[in-house]
Structure formats: structure tokens, C-alpha cells
């Protein structure tokens, strides 16, 4: 797989990235694991997620996608073999500190 620079970080990542915004809502955990397995077996090791995923799942499901990916990485023992990109600006709760790019929100 071709690699490209990730901005100015010095890190090179694959040109293809698997989006995971449906894991935990439209795709249950077993289906999500199957998708991740097939992608990884095909040589894809770059995955994108966000703290607010799964898309369309609502506040009660926010974070489920990242949790599924975490369980998959642990079960497969591949955390040090993949690139995991995430986003963290979206609203995870009702208060002003439950969203945005503050240090508090990023670390919680």
C-alpha cells in the first residue's frame, strides 16, 4: 500500500483509511469485528473514528465505536501495528465542557 505524509508530523500513513462511523449502531460488534478483520487481512491498517460515533446513534451511544475498535485491537493484539485517527470536538454530553477542543474535553 502506498504511504503518504500525514501533514507535517513526519508520520507516513496508507493512502486508504477505513471509516468506522457505523460501528455500534448500523453495524453490531460482530459485524464491526468482521469488517476490521477483512480490512486488516487485506493490508489496510489505517482506521478513522471519533468520540461521537456511531453516527446517528445519539448521545447514549456516543463512544461505542471507539470502544469496539479498542476491544478489537486488544483481541487481535494489533494496537502497535495500526494507525488510529480520531476526532474529539463533537458534543459528548449536555454541558459546555462536554464538547470542543479544550484540554479537559480531549482528556476525558
Query: What count of Cα atoms within 13 Å lies in the side-chain half-sphere of residue 64?
Result: 20
Q: Is 40 a catalytic residue?
A: no
Exactly one of 33, 40, 47, 53 is catalytic; name it.
Answer: 53
The closest of 104, 103, 102, 70 to 86, measured between CA atoms, is: 70
**Contact indicator for 47, 21 with CB cutoff of 8 Å:** no
Q: Enumerate the active-site residues.
A: 53
Amino acid at each position: 500500500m502506498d504511504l503518504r505524509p500525514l501533514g507535517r508530523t513526519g508520520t507516513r500513513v496508507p493512502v486508504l483509511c477505513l471509516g468506522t462511523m457505523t460501528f455500534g449502531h448500523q453495524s453490531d460488534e460482530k459485524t464491526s469485528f468482521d469488517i476490521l478483520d477483512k480490512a486488516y487481512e487485506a493490508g489496510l491498517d489505517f482506521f478513522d473514528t471519533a468520540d461521537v460515533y456511531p453516527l446517528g446513534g445519539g448521545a447514549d451511544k456516543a463512544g461505542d465505536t471507539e470502544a469496539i475498535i479498542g476491544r478489537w485491537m486488544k483481541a487481535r493484539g494489533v494496537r502497535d501495528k495500526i494507525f488510529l485517527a480520531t476526532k474529539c470536538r463533537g458534543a459528548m454530553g449536555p454541558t459546555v465542557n462536554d464538547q470542543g477542543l479544550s484540554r479537559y474535553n480531549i482528556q476525558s
